[in-house]
Chains A and B, each alone.
Chain A
Amino acid sequence: MFCLRAIEQARLSIAYSGRNAKIVASHPGLDVGPDGGSAQALEDLAAFRAIPGMTVISPADPTETVAATRAILEFKGPVYMRTGRSPARRVFEPGHVFEIGKGEIIRDGEDLTIIACGVEVARACDAADMLQQEGISARVVNMATIKPIDRDLIARCAHETGAIVTAEDHNIYGGLGGAVAEALAQTVPCPVEFVGVKDVFGASGEPEELADHFEISAPFIAEAAKRVLARKRQ
């Protein structure tokens, strides 16, 4: 949660110096809960993504965290990995294969694509269920590597579904949403809606309560999906 304190050291002593160091930071985002805004890092993905050569990863569940930990140990180069605090819902079965730099379609759909990372992957799946009941077919992509982002997959999803929603437990600026929008701008531009914390600091409360309050829970992802669909049809 206080990993931003070391941003200058990460920049100079690790990335600039070409060190093969791995930073693993727990207690990210609103997931921290009642400790409050002072402890909720909602800027880390953006900050670390801006450091040249830094690989940035945010796994979705315990299974993927284990797989990602193994992967970064074998990977050569500086890595920032954001893990969780509160118990995370399992998204993947044991044996899940993790590859740095690759996104994964975990549920197929035709009308739009929800690209999520971290705790938002499980919420994106819930949102897809809600949308299905309304006759909307949503594809869900787990984008565990925020940098380097999987441009090919993003372009393919934009091409095939024509609308994108991003979801992250992070500021809407500079994190997954920013990375996806940058990739789309240079490949297959399409309507995008961003689900994340809207450029404010967090607050005390239970994680699920905060997800509703700051509008990053499943119903808000579903709402964003409907907004993006409306823009797609225009």
Chain B
Amino acid sequence: MFKENFATAKAPAPARDLVGELEEASRFVRRHVIASIYHAGSGHPGGALSCADILACLYGAELNLWPSGVSDPDRDRFVLSKGHAAPALYAVAAHYGFCDRHAARNLRKLGSPFQGHPHVLELPWVETSTGSLGQGLSVALGMAMGLKLRGSTARVYALIGDGEMQEGEVWEAAMCAAHHRLDNLCVIVDYNKLQSDNTNDAIMHLEPLAAKWRAFDWAVAEIDGHRHAAILSALRSASVTQGRPALLIAHTVKGKGVPYMEDKPQWHGSVKLTREQSEDALRALKASPDQTRGTGRRHCRRHRHASFPFAPARPFFSIRHCRTEHDGGGGRHGGGGSSAGCHHLRGVLPARHRTGAAFHRL
């Protein structure tokens, strides 16, 4: 459901097994979110669950960012502007080998690097500290401008909340990004329609949201934020859009995956999960020992695109980020599994990271 001013490149459907892997990653993220908030005794489950699929797609198949290259000046940047979704960020990072799985036990604890909101000085793969809403997009904007000035082809991604758009700073950044034609910037809105106290509509309505961003001269697409294939296609289109920053309005359900939390603002947080509530949630997420392992295999945007049957619309190949040999460019790196070129983590990380972080049983 791309709108008229979005990139014209038609995105082919991603490989089925890639989607399967991302679905598994999302399940892992959701289980990790519940477990870590249970152990912490407080946290924001609703907004963390609603963006789990988006984060899985970004980290699993879009970002050109590797655990061994978090200081690479040409890495892709990701900014979690809605910092209260930190448990989901920590979970996806654990799944893909950026941190170990102890995040689940240490969230929000005194002395832990897994602060209640992401802190750039605590974790090397966090790009900027967030938690005071409205600021992340401005920081991402600065990163995108800096990369352009340096002539880097790296991209910047920011995930913002819907309630967050009530902050004026978001719109100042929106105007600035369009003015500077930052087509290396992609913003995803986790549009779950709820905020801390009530619905967006009751607090301060956002609609017509797509029209507002279009009026700010952004390329805008609306997608189902829980369908991995749709998210991947939209990210692909965003990456080939030229002359404009891209906004993906991802329609999501707050508390997605846990029936008693879905669409209920009281699970925004900060809430304490009882053992019973946590177990109910985990049952709903079908947590069982044999389902708690993800593959943890990552595919960067460039390789995923290389697997598409159509020629990429922008130069996609830069092997300096890749840790393994490519078979002459003709290999199918995004297909998932068959090519050695995709196993970027092999030989870089300890084995437990390669298979993703196993879920901590309660």
B110–A209 touching, CB < 8 Å: yes
- The 8 Å CB contact of A37, one of B111, B112, B119, is B119
By beta carbon, the residue of chain B nearest A33 is B42
- The 8 Å CB contact of A35, one of B41, B110, B116, B133, is B116
Interfacial residues of chain B within 77-110, with CB under 8 A of chain A in the complex: 83-84, 108-110
The yes or no answer to A38 lying at the interface (CB within 8 A) is yes
Contacts of A205 in B (CB 8 A): 108-111
B115–A36 touching, CB < 8 Å: yes
Q: A5-B132, A33-B42 are in contact. Are A39 and B117 (CB under 8 A)?
A: yes
| Distance between B212 CB and nearest chain A CB, rounded to angstroms | 22
| Distance between A58 CB and nearest chain B CB, rounded to angstroms | 21
Cα of A33 to Cα of B116 in the assembled complex, Å: 9
Contacts of A5 in B (CB 8 A): 132
B112–A204 touching, CB < 8 Å: yes
By beta carbon, the residue of chain B nearest A39 is B131
Contacts of A37 in B (CB 8 A): 115, 119
Question: What is the number of residues of chain A that contact chain B, defined by CB distance less than 8 Å?
Answer: 16
Cα of A35 to Cα of B37 in the assembled complex, Å: 12
Total A-B residue contacts, Cβ distance less than 8 Å: 59
Question: What is the number of residues of chain B that contact chain A, defined by CB distance less than 8 Å?
Answer: 22
By beta carbon, the residue of chain B nearest A41 is B132
Cα of A34 to Cα of B41 in the assembled complex, Å: 9
Cα of A32 to Cα of B12 in the assembled complex, Å: 48
The yes or no answer to A75 lying at the interface (CB within 8 A) is no
The yes or no answer to B199 lying at the interface (CB within 8 A) is no
| Distance between A7 CB and nearest chain B CB, rounded to angstroms | 13
Cα of A38 to Cα of B136 in the assembled complex, Å: 13
Q: A203-B115, A204-B115, A205-B109 are in contact. Are A38 and B42 (CB under 8 A)?
A: no
The yes or no answer to B9 lying at the interface (CB within 8 A) is no
B110–A213 touching, CB < 8 Å: yes
The yes or no answer to A149 lying at the interface (CB within 8 A) is no
Interfacial residues of chain A within 181-233, with CB under 8 A of chain B in the complex: 203-206, 209-210, 213
B270–A35 touching, CB < 8 Å: yes
Contacts of B41 in A (CB 8 A): 34, 206
Q: A203-B110, A210-B110 are in contact. Are A34 and B40 (CB under 8 A)?
A: yes
Give chain B's interface secondary structure class.
loop
Mask of B110-131 contacts with A, CB within 8 angstroms, 1/0:
1110111101000000000111
B116–A39 touching, CB < 8 Å: yes
Cα of A205 to Cα of B109 in the assembled complex, Å: 5
The yes or no answer to A2 lying at the interface (CB within 8 A) is yes
| Distance between A2 CB and nearest chain B CB, rounded to angstroms | 5
A38–B110 touching, CB < 8 Å: no
B132–A34 touching, CB < 8 Å: no
B112–A38 touching, CB < 8 Å: no
| Distance between B81 CB and nearest chain A CB, rounded to angstroms | 12
B131–A36 touching, CB < 8 Å: yes
Cα of A206 to Cα of B133 in the assembled complex, Å: 22
Mask of B211-252 contacts with A, CB within 8 angstroms, 1/0:
000000000000000000000000000000000000000000
Mask of B311-342 contacts with A, CB within 8 angstroms, 1/0:
00000000000000000000000000000000
B83–A38 touching, CB < 8 Å: yes
A204–B132 touching, CB < 8 Å: no
B119–A36 touching, CB < 8 Å: yes
- The 8 Å CB contact of A38, one of B43, B108, B130, B270, is B130
B117–A36 touching, CB < 8 Å: yes
B109–A38 touching, CB < 8 Å: no
Interfacial residues of chain B within 184-204, with CB under 8 A of chain A in the complex: none
B108–A204 touching, CB < 8 Å: yes
Contacts of B114 in A (CB 8 A): 204
A38–B119 touching, CB < 8 Å: yes
Contacts of B111 in A (CB 8 A): 203, 205, 213
A204–B83 touching, CB < 8 Å: no
Interfacial residues of chain A within 17-40, with CB under 8 A of chain B in the complex: 33-39
Q: A5-B132, A39-B131, A39-B132 are in contact. Are A34 and B42 (CB under 8 A)?
A: yes
Contacts of B112 in A (CB 8 A): 204
- The 8 Å CB contact of B132, one of A33, A38, A206, A213, is A38
Cα of A34 to Cα of B270 in the assembled complex, Å: 9
Contacts of A210 in B (CB 8 A): 110
Chain B residues close to A by CB (< 8 Å): 40-43, 83-84, 108-112, 114-117, 119, 129-133, 270
A-B contact pairs, 14 of them (CB 8 A): A2-B132, A34-B42, A34-B270, A35-B116, A35-B131, A36-B115, A36-B116, A37-B115, A38-B130, A39-B116, A203-B111, A205-B108, A209-B110, A213-B110
Chain A residues close to B by CB (< 8 Å): 2, 5, 33-39, 203-206, 209-210, 213
Q: Which 7 A-B pairs have the closest CB atoms?
A: A38-B131, A205-B110, A36-B116, A34-B108, A36-B115, A35-B116, A38-B117
